[in-house]
Structure 1
Amino acid sequence: MNNYITSYCTIVKHVVYKNEVPVFENRDADLPAFLLSAYQYFGLNYPKFYKMDNLSKLGWLASEILLKGSYIKDYEPEDVGLVLSNANSSLDSDQKYIKSVSDIPSPALFVYTLPNIMIGEICIRNNFKGEDAFFIFEKFDAGFIELYVNNLLNNNTLSACICGWVDVFESDYKAVLFLVEKEERDNAISFSKKNLGGIFDNLVIDKI
């Protein structure tokens, strides 16, 4: 059974790409300032964004850009799921929380000491109620993502799935999200290990 990548978004090296097209950049900012500038540039309005950690901000922003112009609202909440992965779990927030413990432990930081909190932020924003999972790998495993998501779609557990990679550790970060659907849309490409890996690798460019 064929499934399709109908949209994809990459955020890396202070540039945001939508379907390989650069749509925003701010190379002079640090990561928090870059994320905020992207949020403002795309005219997003979600007060909870300001309370999120960097991992959740990155994944949330990538999902907003990924879904813009999509047919995601046509699905029932239970028919949309998320399958995400990274290498560093929530280590960026974990370290910040540990530092806060020496003074006054920060509940605001503690909330984000699990990587699947990012999935929760995306689901709350969009009212997604389908199956979700978060996996830790040393590097992006396109073959695993293909197998896992195809199983969810082909067994009718989901009709659409956001999948990919969102990782942050200090100043190093990368997000690559894919919207995968059963239905073939305009400009859709085959959902395959080859295409997942090609998009993940080829969008790491240093020009706009």
Structure 2
Amino acid sequence: MNTDFYIKSYCRIKDNTVSLNDSVLFNDASKSFIDFIKSAYKNQNTKYPKFFKMDNLSKLAFLAADVLLKNENLKLENDNNIAIVFSNRASSLDTDRKHQESIQNKESYYPSPAVFVYTLPNICIGEISIKYKLYSENSFFIFDNFNASHLLTYSNSLLSSNKAHEVLCGWVEFDGENNYEAFLYLVSKTGTIKHTEQNIITLYNT
């Protein structure tokens, strides 16, 4: 299997900060995640009206992906052969809780469809795919912790088998206002950082 793959770029959203390749793009002292993500959306000139209807996990994943893919200057009029491989620990638990609350709400006859639609973690992949016309392979895995080994093996396999030209992969976790983190990176056949397990871990922990 060809292992000559590289990390072209990476994005992190954590602690009210958005960074691209370790350069801080935006920082906001807002204590509320909702206030922070709205401010970051406006600051990064992200344009996707449906953003404000998304659940928190999808907002987090979408903004991180948008920052990263805008940096690649993709042509949105073309289909882009980029696979998506995401992972986290909490799945869609934050939205699942809201869905359960809507079911138990005696003032409501029916649970909220707007909430229910996001009770799968891979819905965020669909939102990203729609905007950037990504019709290649996509998967969302649940692990106890960040699993660099799996991301490496799975994305390299997609590239080696020519199922994708590039792979957007990483960790997108949202489990409450104070427990959120996105770390996404783009793997390709060109770049400056070798796609190895140690390099992935180093970037994630930076």
Which residue pairs with 1:205 in the alignment? none
Which residue pairs with 1:73 in the alignment? 75
Equivalent residue of 1:112, what SS? coil
Picking from 134, 137, 141, the partner of 2:140 is 134
Equivalent residue of 2:46, what SS? coil
Report the alpha carbon displacement of residue 45 of structure 1 after superposing the two structures with TM.
1.8
Q: Give yes or no for the alignment of 1:48 onto 2:55.
A: no
Q: Give yes or no for the alignment of 1:107 onto 2:113.
A: yes
Equivalent-residue separation in structure 2 for 1:122 and 1:193 (angstroms): 25
Report the alpha carbon displacement of residue 201 of structure 1 after superposing the two structures with TM.
0.9
Equivalent residue of 2:85, what SS? strand
Q: Number of residue pairs matched?
A: 199
Report the alpha carbon displacement of residue 80 of structure 1 after superposing the two structures with TM.
1.1
Deviations, residues 105-125 of structure 1 (Å, cap 9, x unaligned) = 111000000000010111011
Which residue pairs with 1:198 in the alignment? 202
Q: Give yes or no for the alignment of 1:164 onto 2:170.
A: yes
Equivalent-residue separation in structure 2 for 1:79 and 1:42 (angstroms): 24
Deviations, residues 25-76 of structure 1 (Å, cap 9, x unaligned) = 1122311111100001111221100100000000000001111221543996
Q: Aligned pair in 2 of structure 1 residues 161, 72: CA closer, same or farther (>3 Å)?
A: farther
Per the normalisation by structure 1, the TM-score is: 0.92
Calculate the aligned-residue CA RMSD, in Å. Answer: 1.5
Equivalent residue of 1:81, what SS? strand
The one-letter amino acid paired with 1:148 is: Y
The one-letter amino acid paired with 2:203 is: I
Equivalent-residue separation in structure 2 for 1:75 and 1:43 (angstroms): 19
Which residue pairs with 2:25 in the alignment? 23
Which residue pairs with 1:182 in the alignment? 189
Q: Give yes or no for the alignment of 1:87 onto 2:89.
A: yes
Q: Aligned pair in 2 of structure 1 residues 78, 130: CA closer, same or farther (>3 Å)?
A: farther
Which residue pairs with 1:173 in the alignment? 180
Equivalent-residue separation in structure 2 for 1:102 and 1:19 (angstroms): 44
Deviations, residues 77-136 of structure 1 (Å, cap 9, x unaligned) = 362110000000000000011001122311100000000001011101111000000000
Deviations, residues 113-160 of structure 1 (Å, cap 9, x unaligned) = 000001011101111000000000011100111011000001111111
Asked whether the equivalents of residues 168 and 184 of structure 2 are also in contact (C-alpha less than 8 Å), the reply is yes
The one-letter amino acid paired with 2:90 is: N
Equivalent-residue separation in structure 2 for 1:108 and 1:179 (angstroms): 31
Asked whether the equivalents of residues 77 and 130 of structure 1 are also in contact (C-alpha less than 8 Å), the reply is no
Report the alpha carbon displacement of residue 161 of structure 1 after superposing the two structures with TM.
0.7
* Unaligned runs of at least 5 residues, structure 1: 203-208
Which residue pairs with 1:96 in the alignment? 98
Equivalent-residue separation in structure 1 for 2:52 and 2:73 (angstroms): 27
Per the normalisation by structure 2, the TM-score is: 0.92
Q: Map of 1:25-40 to 2, 5 A cutoff? A: 25-40=27-42
